[in-house]
Amino acid sequence: MMGLTTTEAPYIEQARSDGELYIRQPYELYSEENHQAWAGLYARMTDRWERYANEHFLRGIANLCLSPDRVPNLDDVNQFLNPLTGFRAKAVSGYVPAFLFFDCLRNREFPTTITIRRADKLDYLPEPDIFHDIAGHVPMHTDRAFADTLVRFGDVAHSAAERVQAITDPEKQLRVLDSNIRAMARFFWFTIEFGLMQVPGQPLKAYGSGLLSSYGELEYSIVSPEVQRYPVQLEWVINQSFEIDHYQPLLFSVESFDHLFSLVGTLEEWMKAGKLDNVAPGEPGVNEEDLRSFLLASLQ
Ligand SMILES: [Fe+2]
């Protein structure tokens, strides 16, 4: 079967078995069903974005000129995005190991999934797809303060790689890295993926991409009494585990993207001071590839 459907795309299978992480977007391979999936996802989100998305996102959506009917072509997206913040969406075949991911952000490149979920299962998402990445993440990258925040994440990853280079005991080196990566992943999760924005005196809004690309969870995150919502606290976030397969019961809010930017600076200070070397165990797991990506970077 042709097409670029999540977990069913021969083009992606081939790229992965050839070990190609950065790929081109073979736009001609999208099937009618793929475009229908995009159109279905987009149509039902517009009203919810109006109600629950932060203003930077709404401006981003307008600036990117995404089609409501067709899967976006990354080259078109980049023509609108790049002049605004220098960011570009870069097609990948699958999971990007942690250091490489953060390093891409530092170079103002956003690793972007090009497959799309099945049109008959719009709510079912086994892994990120192009709707999550382009409609959820990329509109935020049109905002300067937000874009600069992502770049700072890349700086933190570089500092971590440099720092563990100085640790001579290999066992300790791995333990410290594991904890540092876990802390960074948690911070990224509770801000970039699931962050809320509470501008003082204004209604609560969402800016996290996991929320902005989910029809059900976007509304749930703002209105449900089942969700605990707190002003972000770095010491809490880096020690808080999370599960990815259901709506989040705990969310954190920032006041602005300048606020978020300064938090990433604090994260880096804490990392350099060794305060991220023993964060609480639990999710997310740090895999072999994540660790190796940092160790390889520290050798360069
Ligand atoms: Fe994401």
Q: What is the pLDDT of residues 189-241, one digit of tens each?
A: 999 999 999 999 999 999 999 999 999 999 999 999 999 999 999 999 999 99
pLDDT at 16 over 60: yes
CA 130 to the chain's CA centroid: 12
Reference 34, options 72, 77, 62, 66; nearest CA is 72
Residues 60-116 pLDDT 10s: 999 999 999 999 999 999 999 999 999 999 999 999 999 999 999 999 999 999 999
Q: Residue 2's pLDDT is what?
A: 78
CATH superfamily of 10-299: Aromatic amino acid hydroxylase (1.10.800.10)
Q: What is the pTM of this model?
A: 0.96
Alpha-carbon dihedral angle through residues 180, 186, 147, 92, given to the nearest 10 degrees: 90
Stretch 170-176: mean pLDDT: 95
Stretch 257-276: mean pLDDT: 97
Which residue in the list 93, 179, 209, 213 is annotated as catalytic? 213
Buried b (16+ CB within 10 A) or exposed e, 65-99: ebeeebbbebeebbeebeeebebbbbbbbbbbbbb
Q: How far is the CA of 167 from the centre of ligand 1 (A)?
A: 32
pLDDT band at 298 (very low <50, low <70, confident <90, very high): low
Rounded percentage of the chain residues whose pLDDT exceeds 70: 98
Residues 110-128 pLDDT 10s: 999 999 999 999 986 768 9
Sign of CA dihedral 177, 179, 183, 186: positive
Residues 6+ apart with CB under 8 A from 121: none
Stretch 124-135: mean pLDDT: 89
Q: Residue 1's pLDDT is what?
A: 57
What is the rounded average pLDDT for all residues in the chain? 96
Stretch 32-41: mean pLDDT: 97
Q: How far is the CA of 284 from the centre of ligand 1 (A)?
A: 14
CB 208 within 8 A of CB 194: yes
Active site residue 193: yes
Question: Would you give the DSSP letter of residue 252?
Answer: E
Residues 6+ apart with CB under 8 A from 181: 98, 160, 286, 290, 291, 294
Active site residue 132: yes
Which residue in the list 132, 141, 253, 298 is annotated as catalytic? 132
Q: Residue 67's pLDDT is what?
A: 95
Q: How far is the CA of 192 from the centre of ligand 1 (A)?
A: 8
Which residue in the list 109, 193, 217, 268 is annotated as catalytic? 193
Active site residue 246: no
Q: Residue 180's pLDDT is what?
A: 97
